[in-house]
Chains A and B, each alone.
Chain A
Amino acid sequence: MSKLKSAYSIPTKKEKPETYIFVVWVDNEAGVLARVVGLFSGRGYNIESLAVAEVDAIKNISRITIVTTGTPQVIDQIKLQLTKLVPVHKVAEFQREDKNVIFKEMALFKVVGKRNKIEKCLNACKRFNPIILDKTKTSAVIQITALRREIDKMNKKLKPFGLISTSRTGAVAMTRGAKIFN
């Protein structure tokens, strides 16, 4: 069947998509996020998570971290297309498996229940530096920092202990050692 399909739209040799993290330095100006996000949606690229904030108030630079999936060819295109945007200064991309880069995501869990349930929650989160940000007799807000898939796991695990609301950031990234992204 696929033999008859033309090249106009469908490549027959489909490579496996892999997860990549893009770090993009942009001018912190109106509409810049829309340009970056619009490029992804307009060209059919996928966004798994997105984190953005100003990192240099003097130079007016924001840092956008985007988790995406794609074949190496698509990832290459994303990088080149991003680089073409006028307010973009530089672009770095990493495979999720890259050992030289730290990826972290933060999550806030609201747990409603008796003390022992909240204790169980804290226990379960032990590996991820849990911090209690708010506590009442019947509830707690717990902050953890972890990898995306670890938070996914915790999100499931805490449900029986009274987790009623989760809020999480997208992943942010930083290289290990003295080296910085170039």
Chain B
Amino acid sequence: MPKLFTGAEIVFKCLEDQKVEHIFGYPGGAVLPIYDELKNHPSIKHILVRHEQGAGHAAEGYARSSGKPGVVLVTSGPGATNVVTALTDAYMDSVPLVCISGQVPTHLIGTDAFQECDTTGITRPCTKHNWLVKDIKNLSKVMHEAFRVATTGRPGPVLIDIPKDVQFAKTKYKKPIKEQKLNGTLHNKFSQDQIDELVKLLSKTKKPVIYSGGGVINSGPKASQALREFVDLTGFPITSTLQGLGAYPGDDNQFLGMLGMHGTYEANNAMHDCDLLINIGARFDDRITGKIDEFSPNSKKVHIDIDPSSINKIIKVDLAIVGDVTSVISKINKTITKSKNGHSKSNKSNIAKWWEQIEKWREKNSLNFVNSDESIKPQHAVQRLYELTKNKDTYVTTEVGQHQMWAAQHYKFNKPNRWMTSGGLGTMGYGLPAAVGVQIAHPEKLVIDIAGEASVLMTMQEMSTAVQYNLPIKIFILNNQYMGMVRQWQELLHEKNYSESYSEALPDFMKMAEAYGCKGIKADNPSELDYKIQEMIDYNGPVIFDCHVDPNENCFPMIPSGKPHNQMILGPNDQEDNKIKGKGKALV
């Protein structure tokens, strides 16, 4: 007779078979049997967070920096509802998460029992799929299926809700069914004809631009490698979405910088004026496209994506290639090399004029700002941080707001999986717990959360987690005392009525650091910035860096709402003739 295992044991056996090493969680009544079982599985380390949202974001940081799924363990009721923000965030940004939640015993489901909630109902729209396991016999199958769903195709979060009696019940354990090596063919629905069609377009174009996104990162390091080859083969300019940063080296000359609402002048103008637009693993998000009717009006559009529902969702494209980015681009590279018999660089003369035009746009130096000797400009702070950490293979997370955009603009990433930010959902409070997760995945690396003082206060409690596990994360707060992005929009759209965007009573971050048992550093003068940043980097332990910056600085360049790519606001000097008027206001 085969050995019988309890539900709790099966959970861990599945995690072991799925090669899970870390789980982020918080105990509670409905998951106690699983927590009781933890001690028998030394290969799995549990990270105790201070709030379930933190567990979710930490698992996201872990997943995005390592390419492995993040695992979350929470209790029923409030445990599950607290993790909803993180699940939604992971859903929007396509991050593989497996969330295990406890549930009240099956006989109490539906009775409004203590700490009961309809977890699968609540999380249905923010997961790829979820399961309520009412029968112990299904548990191992569901667990393995959950990992498969989370990590294949377009990745995303899943949730498994396990009632407490099922955690106690016993049954046989089933190993995961070994799937035949599919090499991603399941999701590759493209043909050589489509690749040939694209290659034909490549040879004819005079004004091409490549627009790459988070799909390249999600496809794995090989995708970034293939992308670099592709860009090198074609000589085309490339721009990237917020999520795609790092897939192509940020300091390379063919890289135009980020595009979109706070993208560079050259990237957005290239998008607008191009005759061939190649979208690789991005989804035409509204922060990217600006006004849709005037989006890249004269271009042939190509869209490469693993998710068929991303195609023609917002922008109609002329050629859609559904498949994994790595497979698609490798195929394209092969086809180009073959078709040109080794003379692969001959097309570059076609686009020489286009490059001249791009260089003209570049001369605008749209990320420029007026620096100061008296106060620290936030852009300057990010630039200094970059200069002092760029040789260290640094991992950067952010919160959401102005500091996030400045980080994206001024911190240059050369490798994929080094940049973790909440793009789709825009979750303030993402960065600190995400940094916890990144540091768990990469204990020896430098991990910095570029933060705003308002965002970081939303999940500040996770400093306690960082201290408990001695995770040397650096929280670099650009403290302008405002919810800066809100303030900026109020300045531009609401006649400087700064309604509730000023934090009148901020904590003393130095004392806060002391209270948490980590190091506090404060800087408010440009002259001391460099050595204080160095002090932060050199300190072996978690640091809260309170960087007081100019409170009135705005994030430019910017596409105002209701405007197309070629009508950007550049800097303070350019603003007079480009005010957002009338209807545009309502449409942010």
Binding site for B on A (CB under 8 A): 1, 4-13, 30-31, 34-35, 38, 42, 73, 76-77, 80-81, 83-86
Indicate if B29 sits at the interface (CB-CB under 8 A). no
**Residue contact A38 to B309, C-beta cutoff 8 Å:** no
**Residue contact B313 to A77, C-beta cutoff 8 Å:** yes
Residues of A within 8 A of B313 (CB): 77
Indicate if B581 sits at the interface (CB-CB under 8 A). yes
**Residue contact A5 to B588, C-beta cutoff 8 Å:** no
Known A-B contacts A31-B124, A84-B309; the reply to A4 vs B581 at CB < 8 A is yes
A85 to B587 Cα, complex, angstroms = 31
Residue of B nearest to A2 (CB): B583
23 interchain pairs (CB within 8 A)? A1-B583, A4-B562, A4-B583, A6-B583, A6-B584, A7-B290, A7-B291, A7-B293, A7-B294, A7-B562, A10-B587, A11-B292, A11-B293, A13-B293, A30-B132, A31-B120, A31-B121, A35-B124, A73-B316, A77-B309, A80-B309, A85-B129, A86-B128
**Residue contact B125 to A38, C-beta cutoff 8 Å:** yes
Binding site for A on B (CB under 8 A): 120-121, 124-125, 128-129, 132, 149, 286, 289-295, 307-309, 311-313, 316, 561-563, 581-584, 587-588
Residues of A within 8 A of B581 (CB): 4
**Residue contact B582 to A4, C-beta cutoff 8 Å:** yes
**Residue contact A7 to B292, C-beta cutoff 8 Å:** yes
Residues of B within 8 A of A80 (CB): 308-309, 311
Most buried by A among B307, B563, B583, B584: B583
| Interface of chain A, main secondary structure | loop
**Residue contact A7 to B583, C-beta cutoff 8 Å:** no
Residue of A nearest to B130 (CB): A31
- The smallest beta-carbon distance between A79 and chain B, in angstroms, is 9
Number of A-B contacts (CB under 8 A): 66
**Residue contact B286 to A8, C-beta cutoff 8 Å:** yes
Residues of B within 8 A of A30 (CB): 132
A52 to B146 Cα, complex, angstroms = 27
- The smallest beta-carbon distance between B285 and chain A, in angstroms, is 11
**Residue contact A7 to B295, C-beta cutoff 8 Å:** yes
A77 to B308 Cα, complex, angstroms = 9
A31-B120, A80-B308 known; 12 new pairs, CB 8 Å cut-off, are: A4-B582, A5-B562, A5-B583, A6-B562, A8-B562, A11-B293, A30-B132, A34-B121, A35-B124, A38-B125, A76-B312, A86-B128
Residues of A within 8 A of B293 (CB): 7, 11-13
- The smallest beta-carbon distance between A35 and chain B, in angstroms, is 6
Residues of A within 8 A of B132 (CB): 30-31
Residues of B within 8 A of A73 (CB): 312, 316
Residue of B nearest to A78 (CB): B309
Residue of A nearest to B583 (CB): A4
**Residue contact B124 to A38, C-beta cutoff 8 Å:** yes
Residue of B nearest to A4 (CB): B583
**Residue contact A6 to B308, C-beta cutoff 8 Å:** no
Residues of A within 8 A of B120 (CB): 31
A141 to B132 Cα, complex, angstroms = 42
A65 to B290 Cα, complex, angstroms = 37
- The smallest beta-carbon distance between A78 and chain B, in angstroms, is 10
Residue of B nearest to A77 (CB): B313
Among B129, B309, B311, B312, point to the contact of A81 (Cβ < 8 A). B309
The 4 A-B pairs at the shortest CB distance, nearest first, are namely A6-B562, A7-B292, A4-B583, A80-B309
**Residue contact B563 to A86, C-beta cutoff 8 Å:** no
A34 to B123 Cα, complex, angstroms = 12
Residues of A within 8 A of B312 (CB): 73, 76-77
A141 to B311 Cα, complex, angstroms = 49
- The smallest beta-carbon distance between A24 and chain B, in angstroms, is 15
- The smallest beta-carbon distance between A165 and chain B, in angstroms, is 31
